[in-house]
Amino acid sequence: MSLRVQLRGTGVAIVTPFQQDYSVDYAALEKVINFVIENGVEYIVTLGTTGETPTLSKEEKKAIAEFTYEKINGRVPVIVGIGGNNTAEIVRELKAFPLKEAVSVLSVSPYYSKPSQEGLYQHYQALADASPKPVLLYNVPGRTGRHLAAATTLRLAEHENIIGIKEASGDMAQAMEILKHRPEEFLVVSGDDLLGLPLIACGGDGVISVIANCMPAQYSGMVRHSLDNRFAEAREINNSLLEVYDMLFVENNPAGVKSFLSNMGLIQNILRLPVLPVSEALHARTNQFLKAQLVS
């Protein structure tokens, strides 16, 4: 089975729960893993932005990945986030990181340095040459400060070890250009929950989602309806989630989704600096939304 088929649907960019002393809360992580799998997601992405990787040590990242493999136990595929703006260091990390049980590596476009398109191309070529697992590109210029152009993505799609892109530019014209010209087995997924439905309508393969941490059944159901061309049903679910999309990102991700998960009793509402929990007003609003869902 090709990875484009295997990763069709909803992947969840899973959170990293913390305890009161800011250590990783593995019991809570297991709860979230089981919750999202039991409620329909197709795969899990560990150590992404939503997992607060900028504040995790190398040792913690390895321990989280190994714990995730163990608790998933083959139930769904696992993608591991490994990226940065030091190409040589990422190449070393790819060779040393425990990736045997991963199906792919998600690697964010280099941030802060603002390389040229040729620099981005050569960076990803070097990663793909070194990686023991297929590489999934990740374009998120709102965080990196540099856009991975459609033309560069399509050049990279020719590499046999680059299997797709998480497109989070918010630019539907860019996404459509990639979808129009991509190779047959090149995976294109949305990195923006709000644009999941329209990207699939244009031919996309699914979403790597934040909202699927706290609303996995609803969101993965919407994605499956979209992939089955049942857009009336998909729109109905998507419309019911519009307020949630806003609450998840209005102050910070993953602060928004951690607010939901803590109000659901799955994790504690703790983040590592410089990221803070959402305001008391927003936290109360997420709780009110969840209570209203139970009543309805």
Asked if 100 is an active-site residue, the reply is no
Asked if 166 is an active-site residue, the reply is yes
User: How far, in Å, are 32, 45, 98, 263 from residue 268 at the CA level?
Assistant: 12, 21, 28, 9
Catalytic residue among 43, 138, 219, 245: 138
Contact 182, 205 (CB under 8 A): no
Contact 5, 41 (CB under 8 A): no
Tokens of 190: 């949305």
Contacts of 228 (CB under 8 A, 6+ apart): none
Please, is 112 exposed, middle or buried when counting C-beta atoms within 10 Å of its C-beta (0-12, 13-18, 19+)? exposed
Catalytic residue among 69, 166, 219, 258: 166
User: How far, in Å, are 24, 108, 141, 208 from residue 112 at the CA level?
Assistant: 27, 12, 10, 23
CA nearest to 287, candidates 260, 268, 250, 265: 260
Annotated catalytic residues are 138, 166
